[in-house]
Amino acid sequence: MRRLNLALLCLILPSLALADTVSVAVASNFQQTLDKIAVAFKAATGHDIKASAGASGKLAAQIRQGAPFDVFLSADDERPTELAKAGVGQPGSQFTYAYGQLALWSKKRGDAGEAALRNGGFAKLAIANPATAPYGRAAMETLGALKLDAAVKPKLLTGDNIGQTMQFAEVGGADFAFVAYSQLLEQGIRDRYWLVPEKLHQPIRQDALQIKPTPAATALMAFLKGEQARALMAQAGYRFKP
């Protein structure tokens, strides 16, 4: 009996240790900002955050298939809305935690901007996959608004997510890359980019959805609405109105 109790205790203790950890599926563009929010969240509540980053579309598919996430921080409002309509997640929990900004960046050139896109004097332009990554979709909307989508199509280099897209430009695989403005600020980049006018694409509304009704997940959703988290998001280049 004593051995049985010890065995049961060994099974229970790991689950107790994880009870205050929030498992978060987070869009790649928001990962570094969430890392900073996690520190403040831990200090304020005692809860830890375990984040898994990726393209919003792929994360939503994983959640629909039963991936064990507590909170979904998407880079759009479409995927959380689809999940909620399918009965996935806590009813009424969805809200917009921030609006993202799109930027065109080059590591090796100083002429990132509309003129450079129109001139076409570059070999490769990196974008995130528009089918799964909202920033990739915004990039294609921008090219469409400028009537450059057909001309630029042969030069496109597509990343799985916005993180990989930035890597293409960092290692020299692409002359320019459409990335999240927040990525540039988080890495201390203050030049060689063009902040894309928001009139050229649909607002990048980033929504949160609580998947599981755990106390720690509920606490994180509330924390994201608070002044401390919003201040960190603002520092990272996010806005709160389209």
- How does pLDDT run across 120-146, given as a tens digit for each residue? 999 999 999 999 999 999 999 999 999
CA distances (Å), origin 114, targets 68, 134, 142, 211: 42, 20, 10, 40
Indicate the burial class of 179 (C-beta count within 10 angstroms; 0-12, 13-18, 19 or more): buried
Question: Strand 71-73 vs strand 204-210: parallel, antiparallel, or unpaired?
Answer: antiparallel
59 closest CA partner among 100, 33, 29: 29
**How far does CA 194 lie from the centroid of its chain?**
20
Average pLDDT of span 63-83: 97
Q: What average pLDDT does range 158-169 have in this prediction? A: 93
Residue 145: exposure state from Cβ atoms within 10 A (0-12, 13-18, ≥19): middle
What pLDDT does 16 receive? Answer: 42
Report all structural domains of the chain as residue ranges with CATH numbers, in order of start. 2-99+205-235 (3.40.190.10), 102-200 (3.40.190.10)
Q: What's the whole-number average pLDDT of the chain?
A: 92
In 3D space, the residue among 25, 26, 28, 27 whose CA is nearest the CA of residue 164 turns out to be: 28
Residue 240 CA to residue 238 CA, distance in Å, equals 7
Query: Are the beta carbons of 150 and 176 closer than 8 angstroms?
Result: no
Asked whether the predicted pLDDT for residue 223 surpasses 70, the reply is yes
- Confirm if 74 and 133 have CB atoms less than 8 A apart: no
Predicted local confidence at residue 172, as pLDDT: 77
Percentage, residues of the chain above pLDDT 70: 92
Tell me the C-alpha distance between 12 and 41, whole Å: 25
Tell whether the model's pLDDT for residue 71 goes beyond 90.
yes
**Which pLDDT does position 213 carry in this prediction?**
96
Most confident of 17-21, 23-27, 185-189: 23-27
